Amino acid sequence: MSDATLHSTTQDPDDFAVQIADQIESFLVAVTEVAKGDEPGSAVPFLLLEVSQLLLAGGRLGAHEDIVPDERYEPDTGPDADVDELRENLVRLLEPIDVYSEVFDPYEPRKAPVPARISDDLSDVITDLRHGMAHYRAGRTSEALWWWQFSYFSNWGSTASATLRALHSILAHIRLDQPLEELDGLDTDQGVGDDTLEFEAGRVMQQEIARPLGMRPGQ
């Protein structure tokens, strides 16, 4: 299945595989466009929307019975496409709200929050989704669905969920006029203690995110 036939009119639009592939393709295209930085003021709302829609596809995959691929061993799709440029574009676009803190597993007791980056998370998610898309475009539909379901549980589902929470928090603080306290040097190579649970934003976030959205401090 080539790029030209990904959305072929001969395919049943009600087919589960077609719907999942469409949602994933939409996410891949949208995030790539956002990362170009042409509309920085709307980047966070767009990413919130796209990640939310992707997680709907993930929820459908998660609720589906276990998908078994046609072949015992996964066919080679070749090297995964490089996402370094995409990641670097997102780093520049999302500064200074790129770094946030997240609990890796909410069901493991006494786990301290760890620092993460939205740019890293989105790049990792896209790598997983592109891998499955390579199978789908090659006509290996069951393999694609198996991979998307497996990687949803093992990686991109939790990663996208954490990213969604961070993006939601950014917009909630802006819309509710609740500035975050500005942190000094929070980064992903540091441990995050109980006294530094808020990710870096504050005054700089209001200047660089709220104002392009047409909102002013105190509005």
pLDDT tens per residue, range 18-47: 999 999 999 999 999 999 999 998 999 999
Rounded to a whole number of angstroms, the CA Rg of the chain reads: 19
Best CA proximity match to 140, nearest among 68, 53, 62, 63? 68
Whole-number pLDDT of residue 113: 80
Q: What share of the chain is helix, strand, coil (3-state, %, to 5)?
A: 55, 5, 40
Best CA proximity match to 1, nearest among 149, 127, 132, 150? 132
Residues 189/154, Cβ–Cβ less than 8 Å: no
**Euclidean distance between the first and the last CA atom of the chain, given in angstroms as a whole number:** 51
DSSP string, 5-28: GTT-TTS-TT-HHHHHHHHHHHHH
Query: Other CB atoms closer than 10 Å to residue 2's CB: what's the count?
Result: 9
Q: Percent of the chain scored above 70 by pLDDT? A: 75
Query: Other CB atoms closer than 10 Å to residue 175's CB: what's the count?
Result: 12
- Average pLDDT for residues 149-154, to the nearest whole number? 97
Identify the residue with better confidence: 95 or 192: 95
Whole-number pLDDT of residue 89: 96
116 pairs with which residues across the strands? Answer: 100
Structure confidence by residue, pLDDT tens digits, 66-107:
999 888 778 777 777 789 999 999 999 998 899 998 877 778
Whole-number pLDDT of residue 12: 66
Whole-model pTM: value is: 0.77
DSSP state of 70: S
Whole-number pLDDT of residue 26: 97
Whole-number pLDDT of residue 32: 96
- Average pLDDT for residues 150-160, to the nearest whole number? 96
d(CA 54, CA 52): 5
Residues 142/69, Cβ–Cβ less than 8 Å: yes
Q: Sorting pLDDT into bands at 50, 70 and 90, what band is 14?
A: low
Helix (H) or strand (E) holding 130: helix 118-137
Residues 6+ apart with CB under 8 A from 31: 47, 50, 86, 122, 126
- Average pLDDT for residues 8-16, to the nearest whole number? 64
Whole-number pLDDT of residue 176: 85
Whole-number pLDDT of residue 191: 45
Q: Percent of the chain scored above 90 by pLDDT? A: 55
CA atoms within 13 A on the CB side of 25: 17
Whole-number pLDDT of residue 6: 47
Helix (H) or strand (E) holding 115: strand 114-117
Whole-number pLDDT of residue 9: 40
Q: Sorting pLDDT into bands at 50, 70 and 90, what band is 13?
A: low
